[in-house]
Structure 1
Amino acid sequence: MKVQVLNIDGTAAKGDIELSDDVFGIEPRADILHRVVTWQLENRRGIARATRERSDVARTGKKFGRQKGGGTARHGDRAAPVFIGGGKAHGARRREFGQSLNKKLRALGLKMALSSKAQAGLVIVDSLDVADAKTKALAGQLAKANFGKKVLVIDGDAVNDNFAKAARNLIGVNVLPAQGANVYDILKHDTLVLTRAAVEKLEARFNG
């Protein structure tokens, strides 16, 4: 698949780039993309903590009054749920939400996400080099390019420092290195912008 390379402002750059059909030419399947996104989001969740029940509270178990004649109920343990500082009755249990997913399925999901953007919403730029780390200047370039409201920009090993600083305060523009490319972030943005270096890294990641 041959794609024209653009500059960051949307103007045409020199040359085209040949994208691998094994990475960018797969027919996406909604069921696989759903499984990978669910796996990602579930593994983001923290562990649900347990509450301390009667056996977990450090309080005395000594009987603190007479069985009869004291004018109070017959209690033998200060850890009982009826007392302030006692254990929780029927408390929440510890829950872990992490899921496992086959490596091959995770890789296939990322290929399908890239392929779905290649069908509509993929832009290849030469590089992310900008003269200054100025948010206003970058906002003007992106507005001229008309990439959409939500843009994910992926660079090579590391994101261009000036571009990352300039894009930091732009709403709807997110930046990642190639190593951080993932299905959820790719699908939730309108446009995926890849540099030449990012394309090389992503293709090497699957061919290696």
Structure 2
Amino acid sequence: MECKIVNLFNDHVGVIDLNPLIFSVERKLHLLHDVVKWQLAKRRTGTHKVKIISDVSGTTAKPHSQKRTGRARQGSLRSPQFRGGGVIFGPVVRSHAHSINKKVRKIALKVALSLKYLDNQLIIVDNFNIDITKTSEMCKYISNFKFSSFLIVDHYNDSLLRVTNNLSNVDLIKPVGLNVFDILNHECIMLTSGAVKFLEERLL
């Protein structure tokens, strides 16, 4: 599979051979759904909590006698039926993360890359090793590509990170951290030649 390589001016500068085992696999959309759910579940902090009966402060005395009062028997004023009492079956601090097979994660990443390639939303850039010192300069380069949002996959340096920090439609990620959620969350994926080589070694 041949794909053209462009520079930041969107000029054709070469050709790269993409591996079809990564960039042209079967569309298994259910795997994308599973992996995105897994990623979002890991992001949840799980710090929501309510007070159960043992957390509520108050007396431990029995409200009234068990018998001969004509009232329902009660054992504690901290019970949920009383005002200010504890909560039954409320949320507690826990982790929402669940496991998913590494093989599934790898296939889903291939499917996501393949979708971008088939939709012409995958761009191979020669490199980002140019002297960019201002955000306005980066905006001019990005405007050469007619997409609304960009995910740049590269072994970037601090200079590139600094000039893209204030761009809401541009995100940077290193090839080792490339994931399904970020790919689907951006319209255009920009890979450098080095990133393509790294991904082929990682996913094959």
**Does TM-score exceed 0.5, indicating one fold?**
yes
Q: CA shift at 1:139, angstroms?
A: 0.3
Q: Quote the Cα distance in structure 2 between the aligned partners of 1:127 and 1:206.
A: 22
Distance of aligned partners of 1:80 and 1:16 in 2 relative to their CA distance in 1, 3 Å threshold: same
Contact 2:50 2:87 (C-alpha < 8 Å) held by counterparts: no
1:2 equivalent in alignment to 2:29 = no
Residue of structure 2 in register with 1:193 after alignment: 190
SS in 2 for 1:56: coil
Alignment length (residue pairs): 197
Residue of structure 2 in register with 1:25 after alignment: 24
Q: Quote the Cα distance in structure 2 between the aligned partners of 1:202 and 1:12.
A: 22
Q: Quote the Cα distance in structure 2 between the aligned partners of 1:125 and 1:154.
A: 10
Q: Quote the Cα distance in structure 1 between the aligned partners of 2:28 and 2:117.
A: 14
Q: Quote the Cα distance in structure 2 between the aligned partners of 1:77 and 1:187.
A: 53
Q: Quote the Cα distance in structure 2 between the aligned partners of 1:190 and 1:75.
A: 61
TM-score, structure 2 normalization: 0.84
Distance of aligned partners of 1:36 and 1:62 in 2 relative to their CA distance in 1, 3 Å threshold: same
Distance of aligned partners of 1:64 and 1:176 in 2 relative to their CA distance in 1, 3 Å threshold: same
Contact 2:46 2:95 (C-alpha < 8 Å) held by counterparts: yes
Q: Quote the Cα distance in structure 1 between the aligned partners of 2:32 and 2:83.
A: 51
1:116 equivalent in alignment to 2:127 = no
Q: CA shift at 1:77, angstroms?
A: 4.6
Q: Deviations over 1:55-74 (max 9, x none)?
A: 2334431468999xxxxxx9
Counterpart pick for 2:86 among 68, 85, 88? 88
Q: What is the percentage of aligned positions where both structures have the same residue?
A: 33
1:175 equivalent in alignment to 2:143 = no
Q: Quote the Cα distance in structure 2 between the aligned partners of 1:42 and 1:103.
A: 16
Spell out the pairing of 1:107-146 with structure 2 (5 A cutoff). 107-119=106-118, 120-143=120-143, 145-146=144-145
Contact 2:62 2:74 (C-alpha < 8 Å) held by counterparts: yes
SS in 2 for 1:54: coil
Bigger mean CA offset, 47-56 vs 21-30: 47-56
Q: Quote the Cα distance in structure 1 between the aligned partners of 2:6 and 2:197.
A: 16
Residue of structure 1 in register with 2:70 after alignment: none
Q: CA shift at 1:97, angstroms?
A: 2.5
Bigger mean CA offset, 130-139 vs 89-98: 89-98
Distance of aligned partners of 1:91 and 1:35 in 2 relative to their CA distance in 1, 3 Å threshold: closer
Q: Quote the Cα distance in structure 1 between the aligned partners of 2:196 and 2:172.
A: 15
Distance of aligned partners of 1:2 and 1:54 in 2 relative to their CA distance in 1, 3 Å threshold: same
Amino acid paired to 2:54: S
1:149 equivalent in alignment to 2:148 = yes
Q: Quote the Cα distance in structure 1 between the aligned partners of 2:188 and 2:59.
A: 63
Q: CA shift at 1:99, angstroms?
A: 2.1
Q: CA shift at 1:96, angstroms?
A: 4.0
Amino acid paired to 2:203: F
Q: Deviations over 1:68-103 (max 9, x none)?
A: xxxxxx98755345365xx42335132543222111
TM-score, structure 1 normalization: 0.83
